[in-house]
Amino acid sequence: MLEFEILARGLFRPSELHIAYDPSLRMPIDSTIQAHIDQLWQQQLTIARQQQIPLFDSSLFRLVHVEVDEGTLHLTLGDTTYKEYTASRQPAFVQERSRQQLSNPLAVCSVVETCDGFILYEQRQHVAVHAGRYHVIAGFFERAMDRDAQGKPDPFAAMRRELREETGILPADIAEQYCLGAVYDIINPHAELCFLTRLHILLAEVLTRTPEDDEIKQLRSLAATSERLRAFILENHGNISATGEPNLLLYGGWKYGEGWLEEVMKKITHKET
């Protein structure tokens, strides 16, 4: 079974992404579930301290619904927290509930393409999910920080923040940015908006930048050709995060066509059987 599901796809500018936000649309929690969340959170804090992994609660947006209608990506968002997500991604908890009964926090991730034709990716460290796996630049969509000038949820701003924090890439370095759609991590249940960020700086310039945090073990690069991207996905399937892989696939489908996407999807699906 694939670790991910593609929920929606396309090429969406900020004006083609519509968000309906209702903070009351939360994960259903009764007293029993709350006790479970509190107990598990304390356990996770203890483990994180022992492993020297930073762990803190944060206010996140929750994905309730996503669809594409007449060229616009429509999102319905509610509220959740990282603490709720930590509990609701546990296998025993997931098995007893439908997807709509989970925390379902929304994250953002992006294929980053330099102006000299390279894709950036990373190897993750100091994280609770997909540690050691390859991933594109990513992070959670945070309610406290990621809003536009009118105070509305802004996933494009979230993606620019993550780029700055994890790589040192600044908004002024970005030539254009699009949302490629939404995907779902089935194993660690949460959704991610997938982006394409095209830079007007060279790979060499990116590598001189200083990240603001220490989440990336090593920033790597890949030549942005159909052959090299196909080979990377097929050679590393199972060692790419469950949201980074579909982001790469959506990028490849946009850049190299539907035939390329269908071929690679068929091959990775075959690997699962």
- What are the pLDDT digits (tens) for 151-198? 999 999 999 999 999 999 999 999 999 999 999 999 999 999 999 999
Dump pLDDT digits (tens) for 16-30.
999 999 999 999 999
| Residue entry with tokens 């939360």 | 26
Residue 124, pLDDT > 80, answer no
Number of neighbouring beta carbons within 10 Å of residue 168: 16
pLDDT at 270: 86
pLDDT at 29: 96
pLDDT at 52: 75
Q: Report the C-alpha gap between 65 and 73 in whole angstroms.
A: 11
Range of the domain at 92: 4-272
Q: What is the mean pLDDT of residues 62-89?
A: 96
Contact 192, 242 (CB under 8 A): no
Measured CA distances, 236 to 111, 229, 266 (Å) = 16, 11, 15
| 3 state SS of 99 | helix
**Residues in CB range of 45: below 8 A, 6 or more apart:** 55
pLDDT at 271: 78
Residue 126, pLDDT > 70, answer no
The answer to whether the Cα torsion of 260, 265, 266, 267 is positive or negative is: positive
The number of folded domains in the chain is 1
pLDDT at 131: 66
| % of the chain beyond a pLDDT of 90 | 79
Q: What angle do CA 265, 108, 13 make, to 5 degrees?
A: 85
| Residue entry with tokens 């993550």 | 162
pLDDT range class, residue 102, cuts 50, 70, 90: very high
Q: Report the C-alpha gap between 145 and 227 in whole angstroms.
A: 38
Q: Report the C-alpha gap between 9 and 3 in whole angstroms.
A: 17
Contact 204, 260 (CB under 8 A): no
The CATH number that applies at residue 35 is 3.90.79.10
Measured CA distances, 226 to 30, 94, 106, 195, 256 (Å) = 49, 37, 29, 18, 6
pTM > 0.85: yes or no: yes
Q: What is the mean pLDDT of residues 96-100?
A: 92
Kind of pairing, strands 4-12 and 190-199?
unpaired
pLDDT at 54: 76
Residue 231, pLDDT > 90, answer yes
pLDDT at 170: 96
